[in-house]
């Protein structure tokens, strides 16, 4: 019996000593996995890496939204265009997946309390809270896009003014765009850099059309037409038209600043405060119901 006990102890001690030694001597699988993960990381595109950063549930639901076409029927394509213009790290589908899941989670809590307290008040609050949160998620896209447009409109008149000065001294258009791209806010600067990059692989007229689409300001179509005239006939042939566009953009900037100071950010904050207020009131009433139910027992 003693021999058996000693044998077990010796075998256990040997295992405890030998296994760590083997881990030090032999190449470990953990290191191989780590190296394989690093190699896989470098082989993935930026979109794939951003996808992996998402929560597993959000990633799965977002993949389903990408494969399905029903979202285009329910939500307007214009909203997707606005979201894509914002340059967010996550895709439109993953943003919508996260918004839908948040709204669903908010509705589950009142339904649970309907089952516990038998109070129909919570059943009424469930769709209101879920729908309100979903609406705020959609409205946030429009709000951020309008902020983007206001920043672009604010800088466009100065862009045209600098263009007029540079064209008068005979500076090439491509050089003008490259120079002014270094002095503006990141949004317009990135759009100008994209314009310069596109002009290297396609005609300037096509690159300008894409630039106008990205800017998404109606008067920019007139601006592109005038720039095309400048490239064909020279600056002095289109100077008057360019000055009139500058005036129109200046007026548009004034209107956008007026709209901005009317309290659009405050309006957005107001919607959030109303939503948060409803949630606080809801949970306060929920606590009252729970304590009332406990006192009645």
- Enumerate the domain spans of the chain: 147-261
Question: What phi, psi does 286 have (nearest 5°)?
Answer: -65, -40
Task: Please report the pLDDT score of residue 129 as a whole number.
Answer: 80
The answer to whether the CB of 118 falls within 8 A of the CB of 267 is no
DSSP per residue, the chain: -HHHHHHHHHHHHHHHHHHHHHHHHSPPHHHHHHHHHHHHHHHS-HHHHHHHTS-HHHHHHHHHHHH-SHHHHHS-HHHHHHHHHTT-SS-HHHHHHHHHHHHHHHHHHHHHHHHHH--HHHHHHHHHHHHHHHHHHHHHHHHHHHHHHHHHHHHHHHHHHHHHHHHHTT--HHHHHHHHTTTS-HHHHHHHHHHHHHHTTS-HHHHHHHHHHHHT-THHHHHHHHHHHHHHH-HHHHHHHHHHHHHHHHHHHHHHHHHHHTTHHHHHHHHHHHHHHHHHHHHHHHHHHHHHHHHH-
The answer to whether the CB of 215 falls within 8 A of the CB of 191 is yes
Within 10 A of 161 (CB to CB), how many other CB atoms are there? 15
Q: What tokens appear for 83 in the block?
A: 């979201």
pLDDT in tens, the chain (297 residues): 555 554 555 556 555 555 554 454 444 555 545 544 544 444 544 555 555 555 566 666 666 666 656 566 556 678 888 888 888 777 787 888 888 888 888 787 777 777 776 777 777 777 888 888 888 888 888 888 888 888 888 877 777 777 777 777 777 777 878 887 777 778 888 888 888 888 888 888 888 888 888 888 777 777 777 777 777 777 777 667 777 776 766 766 665 555 445 545 555 555 556 556 656 665 666 666 555 655 655
- Separation CA 178–CA 194 (nearest Å): 10
- The number of C-alpha atoms within 13 Å of 211 and in the hemisphere containing its C-beta is 30
49: Cα separation from own chain's centroid = 15
Task: Please report the pLDDT score of residue 42 as a whole number.
Answer: 47
- Separation CA 25–CA 65 (nearest Å): 49
Task: Please report the pLDDT score of residue 18 as a whole number.
Answer: 53
- The number of C-alpha atoms within 13 Å of 67 and in the hemisphere containing its C-beta is 6
Task: Please report the pLDDT score of residue 229 as a whole number.
Answer: 76
Instruction: Give the length of the chain.
Output: 297
The answer to whether the CB of 238 falls within 8 A of the CB of 245 is no
């Amino acid at each position: 019996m003693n021999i058996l006990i000693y044998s077990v102890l010796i075998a256990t001690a040997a295992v405890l000593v030998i296994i760590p030694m083997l881990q030090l001597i032999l190449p470990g699988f953990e290191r191989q996995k780590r190296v394989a993960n690093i190699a896989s990381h470098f082989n993935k595109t930026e979109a794939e890496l951003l996808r992996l950063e998402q929560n597993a549930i959000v990633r799965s639901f977002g993949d389903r939204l990408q494969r399905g076409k029903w979202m285009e029927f329910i939500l307007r394509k214009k909203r997707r265009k606005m979201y894509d213009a914002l340059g967010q790290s996550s895709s439109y589908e993953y943003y919508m997946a996260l918004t839908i899941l948040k709204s669903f989670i908010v509705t589950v809590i009142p339904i649970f309390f309907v089952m516990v307290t038998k109070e129909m008040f919570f059943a009424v609050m469930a769709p209101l809270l879920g729908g309100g949160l979903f609406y705020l998620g959609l409205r946030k896209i429009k709000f951020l896009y309008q902020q983007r447009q206001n920043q672009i409109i604010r800088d466009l008149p100065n862009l045209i003014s600098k263009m007029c000065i540079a064209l008068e001294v005979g500076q090439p258009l491509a050089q003008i765009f490259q120079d002014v791209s270094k002095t503006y806010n990141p949004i317009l600067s990135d759009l100008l850099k994209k314009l310069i990059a596109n002009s290297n692989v396609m005609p300037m007229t096509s690159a300008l059309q894409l630039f106008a689409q990205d800017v998404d300001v109606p008067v920019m179509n007139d601006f592109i037409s005038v720039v095309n005239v400048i490239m064909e006939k020279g600056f002095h042939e289109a100077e008057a038209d360019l000055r009139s566009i500058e005036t129109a953009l200046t007026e548009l900037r004034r209107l956008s600043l007026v709209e901005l100071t009317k309290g659009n950010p405050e309006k957005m904050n107001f919607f959030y405060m109303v939503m948060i207020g409803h949630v606080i009131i809801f949970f306060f009433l929920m606590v009252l119901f729970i304590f009332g139910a406990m006192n009645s027992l």
